[in-house]
Amino acid sequence: MAYSSGRMLLSQSDGPVSRFRAWVFIVIPLLAILFQVYVPQFFHFLDFLDMPLLVVVYLSLTQRSQVAGLFTGALIGLAQDSLSKNPLGMFGICKTLVGYFAASVGVHFNVENTFIRLLLSFFFYFFHQCLYWVMQRMLLAQQPPFDYRSWLLFGALNAVVGASLFHFLDKLRATV
């Protein structure tokens, strides 16, 4: 998809509207959760991937609705919480905010460009990790290390995977 530099920063409301089929909203988050639960068990080097987060970012960016984005983030986050040993709400709050802000970006900017998607994926991963770290300290009174170097590295890797994933998910969209 080629865009001029001016077109790249236009609001998406100026472009053609594309929507997901309803089943995508159930199946894709479920697959992301399953991936997170199942794949690192056999491929430990994929531990760094936060597939639910990438799905939240993508769905929120493309839905153009902040309310839909925050609910998508909340539901996926709570599902992830349910399958972890954390109290319910830790991932939920983080991903709610990620969903809201990603949707806000999606409303105001065109996010079809791969480079912008890379940047957004990286930024939201780092934001998610920082927020989670703060919540662990403030709400759970834990002392996790502030491992920003790993976050930067994993953010970059997640961004690369995210860009590929977004490209694949684009094919599931139907233009209205």
Partner 1 sequence: MESFVNRYRNLTILLLVIFAQFLLLAVQVKNDQDVRIIRMWTVTAVTPFARVVELLRGGSVGFIRNYILLHDEDAENRRLRDQVGHLKLENIFLKNELNTAERAKALGVFQARIPSKTLAATVIGTGAGSNAKVVYVDAGSTGGVERGMAVVTPDGIVGKVIAAYPTASEILLATDSDFAAGVMSPDGAVRGTLKGQGTPLLKVDYVPIQEKVQVGEWFYTSGDDRIFPRGFPVGVVRSVRDAQPFKEILLDPVGLQRGLEDVLIITQGVHQDIPPTPVADQPVYIAPPPPDESKPAAPAAAGAAPPITEADKLRLEYQASGDAQGHKFGSGESGPPNFNDITTTLPKPLPPAAVVPASAGATPPAGATTKPAESTRHSNQANGEPTGSTKR
Q: Pick out residues in 31-90 that bind partner 1 (CB under 8 A).
A: 33-34, 36-38, 40-42, 47-48, 50, 52, 66-67, 70-71, 74, 78-90
CA distance 91 to 80: 7
What phi and psi values does residue 175 have, to the nearest 5 degrees?
-75, 130
| Shortest separation between residue 116's beta carbon and partner 1, angstroms | 22
| Shortest separation between residue 142's beta carbon and partner 1, angstroms | 9
Q: Pick out residues in 129-168 that bind partner 1 (CB under 8 A).
A: 139-140
Which ranges of 46-147 would DSSP assign to H, the alpha helix?
51-63, 66-82, 90-108, 114-139
CA distance 122 to 168: 18
Site string for partner 1, 22-41 (x = CB under 8 A): --------x--xx-xxx-xx
> Given the complex with partner 1, which of 51 and 169 has the nearer CB atom?
51
CA distance 155 to 128: 10
Structure-token pair, residue 13 = 């409301």
* Residue 92 binds to partner 1 (criterion: CB under 8 A): yes
| Shortest separation between residue 42's beta carbon and partner 1, angstroms | 8
Beta-strand relationship, 173-175 and 18-20: antiparallel
Is residue 55 a contact partner of residue 69, using CB atoms and an 8 Å limit?
Answer: no
> Given the complex with partner 1, which of 91 and 166 has the nearer CB atom?
91
- Interface residues with partner 1 (CB under 8 A)? 30, 33-34, 36-38, 40-42, 47-48, 50, 52, 66-67, 70-71, 74, 78-93, 96-97, 100, 139-140
